[in-house]
Chain A
Amino acid sequence: MFFKNAVGCLVLIVSFLAHAQKESMAIIEKGSYVPLYGRDSVQVDVEQFAIDVYPVTNADFKEFVKEYPEWRKSNVKALFADSNYLRHWKNDLQLKEEELPNAPVTNVSYFAAKKYCECQGKRLPTLDEWEYVAMADENTPDARIKDAYNEFILSWYEKPATFNNEIGSTFKNYWGVYDMHGLVWEWTSDFNSVLISGESRRDVDEDNNLFCGSAAIGSSDLMNYAAFMRYAFRGSIKANYAMRTLGFRCAETIDKSTEEKNENL
């Protein structure tokens, strides 16, 4: 009896997991691209992986803090999140009236985002993975050369308060992923791999001799102004920052043997 139950249960779990992944995650096929800033400014290979179709919402995050009280706003350690953490929530478990449960959760730190994904059995996407998915428009995996694509992103950067729009309200891209552009900016696992010449931190300057191999850091496509904005933004934030315009989504490695490859740490 126990055996039968166990098997039934396992089948249920497996089918549930498979189903869940199909429902909420998109498979991104392997490929390569030249990112704005990269390893020797050459092609970056991205192995097959899965990514959430939508950003994590306020409602999703509420379930998480219900289960893990240490991540409620009254409990979170200052090391892991600054005082803006979940500022748009009335209290530990309730949103303010004007906020939408189905809008992307923002005001979350890197640590909180990372933990959330780990607790779903997932992880944050790497910067390279995120950018790889984000360069797709509705019909093509790499739309970066299209004027309309770049204009769409830049026009979003000018729009106020898009963080309170519901998920799925922007376009569905080539991979079946929504809202990579148009609602919020998103955390990546190695956001702190961005060192841009002339960025505000004083220890990173343009003197190539001072930095290990910094001659290799430079923009490979300065025309890509939208991406430049994202990299500059990542280079300016710290892991405990909670910001109104910054949310996240999770990713998952499909073939565990390629786990390390997309990290590029």
Chain B
Amino acid sequence: MKTYNYLLIVLLLSLFACKTEGEKDVSENTTPKPEVEETTDELPGLSIYNLPTTWTNQDGEEIQLEDLKGDVLVMVMIYTSCKAACPRLVADMRNIHKKVSDKANKNTKYVFVSIDPETDTPERLKAFAEENEMDSDEYLFLRGTKEDTREFAAVLAVSYKSISPIDFSHSNIISVFDQQGVMQHQKEGLGEDDSKTVKAIEDLAN
């Protein structure tokens, strides 16, 4: 009888239990990672790695945001069918990559997060990467769930809105994160002077 009651309590609790962020994205083939090592190496409060989300990259692989820990991240939010600002944002990213030294680029990842996850399938992201000659290891293209994307944009202070079935309006911000996932620099606007961004990456990656 006692065990039955216990079971009932578990049942009740599970009904009311709060979904954790990670569980929202149901993925078939992710192996649960041990979380014991966290205690030895606690994340700074401002780290984006406090936001446990699962993303799919341009090769169709599932990754956790935290897998990127240890590299400097240069992040931007785009969508591949965009014809106006995104090509310029992409060009800005390419220029930054070019200006940053090879040595620093070894420790840096350039990350494009899609704001249109329905359209931007991994195949499409892959094709986009190739078209833009961004198929080397430093470049990463990610898509997540709509909800995680909205939340991630909130973290980057990026606004976006679907304004027609194929177009979004969005703010143009490139963000630089240190190895612990703390934002260190943001560049707002298009085609603006990127020397500060380049310096921020160099300072962090070396």
Known A79-B45, A79-B50, A216-B169: A195·B7 in contact at CB below 8 Å: no
Complex contacts, B46 vs chain A, CB 8 Å? 77-79
Complex contacts, B16 vs chain A, CB 8 Å? 121
8 A Cβ contacts from A223-262 to B:
235, 238-239, 260
Counting CB contacts under 8 A, is B84 at the interface? yes
Known: A201-B159, A204-B159. 20 other contacts (CB 8 A): A5-B4, A6-B8, A40-B163, A68-B18, A77-B45, A77-B46, A77-B50, A114-B151, A118-B19, A119-B18, A121-B16, A192-B154, A193-B159, A194-B159, A203-B190, A211-B84, A212-B79, A212-B169, A213-B84, A213-B163
Interface of B is mostly: mixed
Complex contacts, A68 vs chain B, CB 8 Å? 18
Counting CB contacts under 8 A, is A265 at the interface? yes
8 A Cβ contacts from B82-118 to A:
82-86, 88
Known A212-B83, A213-B164, A264-B162: A203·B154 in contact at CB below 8 Å: no
Counting CB contacts under 8 A, is A202 at the interface? yes
Among candidates A13, A121, A192, residue contacting B158 with C-beta atoms closer than 8 Å: A192
Complex contacts, A209 vs chain B, CB 8 Å? 84
Binding site for B on A (CB under 8 A): 1-2, 5-6, 9, 13, 39-40, 68, 77-80, 110-111, 114-115, 118-119, 121, 189-190, 192-195, 201-204, 209-214, 216-217, 235, 238-239, 260, 263-265
8 A Cβ contacts from B1-26 to A:
1, 4-5, 7-8, 11-12, 15-16, 18-19
Among candidates B50, B83, B172, residue contacting A203 with C-beta atoms closer than 8 Å: B172
Binding site for A on B (CB under 8 A): 1, 4-5, 7-8, 11-12, 15-16, 18-19, 44-48, 50-51, 79, 82-86, 88, 146, 149-151, 153-155, 157-164, 167-173, 188-190
Among candidates A210, A216, A239, residue contacting B154 with C-beta atoms closer than 8 Å: A239
A/B pair count, beta carbons within 8 Å: 132
Greatest chain B CB density within 10 A among A6, A193, A203, A209 is at A203
Complex contacts, B79 vs chain A, CB 8 Å? 212
Closest A residue to B165 by CB, please name it.
A39
Complex contacts, A5 vs chain B, CB 8 Å? 4-5, 8
A110 to B16, CA, bound (A): 22
